[in-house]
Amino acid sequence: MEIQKRNGSFDTFDITKIIAAVAAANAEIDAEYRISAETIREVAKNIAAVVSKGSTVEEIQDLVEDNLLQCGAYNLAKTYIKYRFARDLVRKANSTDEQILSLIETRNEE
């Protein structure tokens, strides 16, 4: 199944990316709040079951947050949300840098 990436291109849905992202966030929180690897796989399976052709990366990440909250993994959801926010800031900074560079190099049509 194809999903839409942030740049508008399409890529094959990969459940292992969800598992890796949740596992990375899980490793960042105190052990007492962590969820099991089996629960992480169940969250990923739940998401895979509802993702449809053309779903966006953002929609899938929202589903991850919702599923983490539904299974009571509040600290994990919080860490995952913070990571998403930090990555969004980096993407915005990178695009701003590219826009400035295009102006300097007179590649910008404006």
Structure confidence by residue, pLDDT tens digits, 21-75: 999 999 999 999 999 999 999 999 999 999 998 899 999 999 999 999 999 999 9
Q: What is the mean pLDDT of the chain?
A: 89
Residues 73-101, mean pLDDT to the nearest whole number? 82
User: What b/e readout covers 23-44, taking b as 16+ CB neighbours within 10 angstroms?
Assistant: eebbeebeeeebbeeebbeebb
Instruction: Please give the C-alpha separations between residue 34 and each of 40, 43, 50, in angstroms, as whole numbers.
Output: 10, 14, 24
Q: How far is residue 101's CA from residue 104's CA, in Å, rounded to a whole number?
A: 5
CA distances in angstroms from 37 to 4, 12, 40, 47, 82, listed in the order given: 27, 23, 5, 16, 21
Tokens of 87: 């990555």
Residue ranges of the alpha helices (H) in the chain?
Answer: 15-28, 37-50, 57-70, 74-104
Name the more confident of 106 and 50. 50
Q: What is the reported pLDDT for 97? A: 63
Bridge partners of 4, per DSSP, are 10, 56
